Amino acid sequence: MIHGHGGNKQLLADRIGCAPEDIIDMSANLNPLGPPKRVHDFIRENIYVIHALPEPDAAGMSKGFADYQGIDPDCVIAGNGTTFFIYALPLALGAKKALILGPTYADYEDACAAHHVNIHHCLTVAENNFVPDLDQLSAKAEQADLVFICNPNNPTGTLIDKQDLETLIHRHPGTCFMVDESYLPFVPEAEEYSLVTQTHLPNLVVLSSMSKIFRIPGLRTGFLTGAKALIQKIMVHYQPWSVNALAQAVIKEIYNHPEDILPFYRQTRAFVAKERRNFVHALAGTQGIRIFDAPVFFVLAQLDRISAAQLCRRVGDDGFLIRDCSNFKGLSDQFVRFSLKTNDINQALAQSIKKALAWEQTKS
């Protein structure tokens, strides 16, 4: 298991001598707007649901998602977060050789290692703005029985067109493709990129997270969609009552008001786009840092005068917790990631970064 899904607030708080709640955590990728007020209020007012067992297969939660997406409920599984499915897939599909498009989320590799699956990588590079070479990816996919693709990708933010993915999937009918769309709701016109409704493809499964966009990571909620034959294979390994009662109730409440979902997505997308522009503008012209363009709310940056650990420590002195990306396979100790928040916090982080880089320049 990887250590460092985001940062350690307690560790930083102990180091600089403050309470953990005083740390500004910009290391974890969550909606800066927080959950909609109605969702927050529903959680507070319905805590009593934990007094009874939930549905063992979370069928009501799955139906809400299926109805919203316009797909057959038999093509959907609700789970205890998308990580639940990531770890289940290699076993359920009997994978022997997996290919991971990276640099990306480490749990894909950890899940394969847990089931003794042979792992290979197709790594994108900073020199090409982390845009994947689809011909190279296709050639390597030919040799794999399971391929992991995060779209848009974490931590690079790279987004692959829907048509390109469909072409790749069609080209390799003997290979199963897992496309993780956990961050897609943050992307403008995300519906044009999503494969979630393509349940007719027999070698595709799609992961959808509720945790990131609705900022409810502690409830652990996510969905897997795919062709019925794949769903049946995965359900053999499904653990009953894997989604807790409160999580099921909250997700059903969200889908009981489908008219509110897209407006919330659009509000989030507009906010994210504006704050990203402001943040990038605040760092424009700063020596020693390169920001990679992406349509998401987290920002990947490359350093050339200071290591990731050094920058994390210096902005940590100002109470900011950011992500050291050196433990992503394919990245080095020159990469960091920031998950944007409100304008005042983002601008304060930008100033802290500039101060850290200026201090290092003066020192050298």
pLDDT digits (tens, 9 = 90+) for 53-96: 999 999 999 999 999 999 999 999 999 999 999 999 999 999 99
- Which pair of tokens denotes residue 178? 């897992």
Distance in angstroms (rounded) separating the CA atoms of residues 82 and 221: 7
Beta bridge partners of 290: 302
Spatial contact of 201 and 176, defined as CB atoms under 8 Å apart: no
Residue 63 burial (CB < 10 Å; 0-12/13-18/19+)? middle
- Which pair of tokens denotes residue 331? 């990245």
Pairing of strands 176-180, 204-209: parallel
Could you tell me the pLDDT band of residue 4, with boundaries at 50, 70 and 90?
A: very low
pLDDT digits (tens, 9 = 90+) for 187-229: 999 999 999 999 999 999 999 999 999 999 999 999 999 999 9
pLDDT digits (tens, 9 = 90+) for 251-288: 999 999 999 999 999 999 999 999 999 999 999 999 99
Average pLDDT value for the chain: 94
Distance in angstroms (rounded) separating the CA atoms of residues 353 and 237: 46
Distance in angstroms (rounded) separating the CA atoms of residues 242 and 252: 16
Its pTM surpasses 0.85: yes
E strands, 133-221, where? 146-150, 176-180, 204-209
The residues, any chain, with a CB within 8 Å of residue 59's CB and separated by 6 or more, are 73, 78
Spatial contact of 205 and 176, defined as CB atoms under 8 Å apart: yes
Spatial contact of 193 and 151, defined as CB atoms under 8 Å apart: yes
Res. 325: pLDDT tops 70: yes
Residue 21 burial (CB < 10 Å; 0-12/13-18/19+)? exposed
Tell me the average pLDDT across 11-28.
91
Distance in angstroms (rounded) separating the CA atoms of residues 314 and 356: 6
The DSSP code sequence of 2-27 is -S-SS--HHHHHHHHTS-GGGSEE-S
Give the per-residue pLDDT at 3.
45
Q: Which homologous superfamily is 9-30+262-363 in?
A: Aspartate Aminotransferase, domain 1 (3.90.1150.10)
Residue 4 burial (CB < 10 Å; 0-12/13-18/19+)? middle
Tell me the average pLDDT across 141-148.
97
Spatial contact of 322 and 311, defined as CB atoms under 8 Å apart: yes
Distance in angstroms (rounded) separating the CA atoms of residues 356 and 328: 23
- Which pair of tokens denotes residue 227? 């062709």
Pairing of strands 298-303, 289-291: antiparallel
Pairing of strands 146-150, 76-79: unpaired
Res. 120: pLDDT tops 80: yes
State the DSSP code for 126.
G
Domain boundaries, the chain: 9-30+262-363, 37-256
Return phi, psi of residue 100, to 5°: -120, 125
**Strand order from edge to edge, sheet including 76-79:** 76-79, 222-226, 204-209, 176-180, 146-150, 97-102, 118-123
CATH architecture group of domain 37-256: 3-Layer(aba) Sandwich (3.40)
